[in-house]
Amino acid sequence: MGIDRREFLGTAIGAGLGAAIVAGGAPSVLAARQGLRLEEATVSGLQEAMRSGETTSRQLVQAYLRRAATVDKQVNSMIELNPDALQIADQMDRERKSGKVRGPLHGVPVVLKDNIDTADKMKTTAGSLALLNAPTPKKDAFIAARLREAGAVILGKTNLSEWANFRDNDSISGWSGRGGQTRNPYILDRNPCGSSSGSGAAISANIAAVAIGTETDGSIVCPSSVCGIVGLKPTIGLVSRSGIIPIAHSQDTAGPMTRTVADAAAVLTAICGFDEADEAMAGREEAEPIDYTKFLDAGALKGARIGVARNYFGRRKDVDDMLNASMDAMKKAGAVLVDVTIDSIGKFGAAEFEVLLYEFKADLEKYLAGRNADHKTLDDLIQFNKDNEKREMPYFGQSIFEAAAKKGPLTDEAYVEALETCKRLTQAEGIDQVMDRDKLDAIIGPSNAPTWMIDTVNGDCGSGYISSSSLAAVAGYPNITVPAAFSKELPLGISFFGKAFTEAKLIGIAYAFEQATKARRQPKLLPTFA
């Protein structure tokens, strides 16, 4: 079984370390040998420090556990720590000593959202008490297995909006019955967004090197943007969903959440791979592996045609200012900016929700059957929440659960029509149409407005600003958010999205933007904003 983080920390943390890893990857020695400084450490920096002998994977794990013991007391991003983390690190150190290095993630600590199966001593619960005592998954999720093969050390599981924020219309992002409330590391009384709340907060607060989040609509992009990090939502069919607690197979995916574009590229390279168990990959030939780090080009904006989605302007001055400053930076870097209006934006929301309700019931019940859990149907989960109302529903109910439970099979005409509407409006009459017409390499939009107060009474009343994530999410197309600016100590992100399987191009453009702007700031863990 899993282990409480405080219990683990008491036994796992050893003596102080001598190396300091700073952004850019250069190791240095701290005065008085205070220990390993992990703030803003990069994958390449950590890798170089291990290669040079400045540190080891074991020491990295110990150092991140120290941060979990201190910083995460304020942020509450981790739902569980892996009791085998040190043993895995030792194995990676032995392999390195013998001359075997599996790749860029060898020995690097990574955290997974708690809806990703691991066949180990940790639990997989989607933040719900209903799955706390469910049988351990029979095998790792495909992406968890890929990370292990790449040499990554799974440090633990992150908190999330319970059931990936698909339980109630008045939910609080970042809250789960199992994990409690995750907080935004910039201002602790502000929301981290969701549903990959813990993954975003943990990476922003330097509690792990890199993280995996999942998204149906905005659940990577939103927490990444409001927590001031990079988040990459891949094309449906690029990254396997096998072993991930689902919402909807037409939109679900998993992707990297990191502090830099380079780190996101390294993680994406590791987790990609053909999985015949994922229906989105059915009928596709297994492609040659792609090393996405090869597309990290600081000059990628030169000559790039970037569509500026004007639909998203005019709602908030601070967001418009961020977009205008970002556009100036892109033009200075040689990009060609093209104003575009996407007519389908705002027209597919009702159809999307209908699709999600239908697919949630079908997909979740299929997953529960595979886990052999006590609760095998959505109705079972609804009853569990009623029976455990004080612990599971102290702040909000389960209106989405109840609506989904009433849906019929995926052969229903209402579902078939809604799915067709979604794909037509976001693909052929959305992203594809605009990009083909104007010969674009990417489209930009705001990832989100500044985050909102944590509110246990009103739930996610939000910022009143629509993000740009839905278009790419419903289309099943790639989207990457990059830190772009700040508004009163809160980060703002810009999103680059495009046609299916254009991750390589988007990574290049996002990296060039990141290098030109360097907007990421380490959070200050402010209690509130005065």
- Of 57, 173, 195, 224, which is the active-site residue? 195
How far CA 408 is from CA of 168, 354, 381, 383, in Å, comes to 20, 11, 17, 19
Q: Do 358 and 410 form a contact (C-beta atoms < 8 A)?
A: yes
Q: Please state, in angstroms and rounded to a whole number, the distance separating the CA atoms of residues 168 and 396.
A: 7
Alpha helices in 233-304 (DSSP H): 261-271
| Nearest CA-CA partner of 326 in 195, 468, 209, 185 | 468
Burial 290-318 (b: 16+ CB within 10 A, else e): bebbebbeeebbeebebbbbebbeeebeb
What tokens were used for 201?
Answer: 């907060």
Residue type, position 324, single letter: N
The SS3 of residue 20 is strand
- Of 44, 57, 113, 224, which is the active-site residue? 113
Q: Do 163 and 385 form a contact (C-beta atoms < 8 A)?
A: no
Catalytic site residue 219? yes
Half-sphere exposure at residue 347, Cβ-oriented, CA atoms within 13 angstroms? 14
Residue type, position 427, single letter: Q
33 phi and psi angles, rounded to 5 deg: 45, 60
Going by their DSSP bridges, the two strands 175-176 and 180-181 should be labelled as antiparallel
Q: Hey, which residues does 487 pair with through a beta bridge?
A: 490
| Nearest CA-CA partner of 36 in 27, 23, 24 | 27
Q: Please state, in angstroms and rounded to a whole number, the distance separating the CA atoms of residues 335 and 510.
A: 12
| Nearest CA-CA partner of 225 in 494, 465, 3 | 494
Going by their DSSP bridges, the two strands 153-158 and 175-176 should be labelled as unpaired
- Of 219, 224, 344, 447, which is the active-site residue? 219
Alpha helices in 22-56 (DSSP H): 43-52
What tokens were used for 441?
Answer: 């390499």
Residue appearing with tokens 């529903």: 393
Q: Please state, in angstroms and rounded to a whole number, the distance separating the CA atoms of residues 227 and 524.
A: 12
Total number of residues shown for the chain: 530
Q: Do 76 and 158 form a contact (C-beta atoms < 8 A)?
A: no
Q: Do 516 and 301 form a contact (C-beta atoms < 8 A)?
A: yes
Catalytic site residue 195? yes
Kindly list the catalytic residues: 113, 195, 219
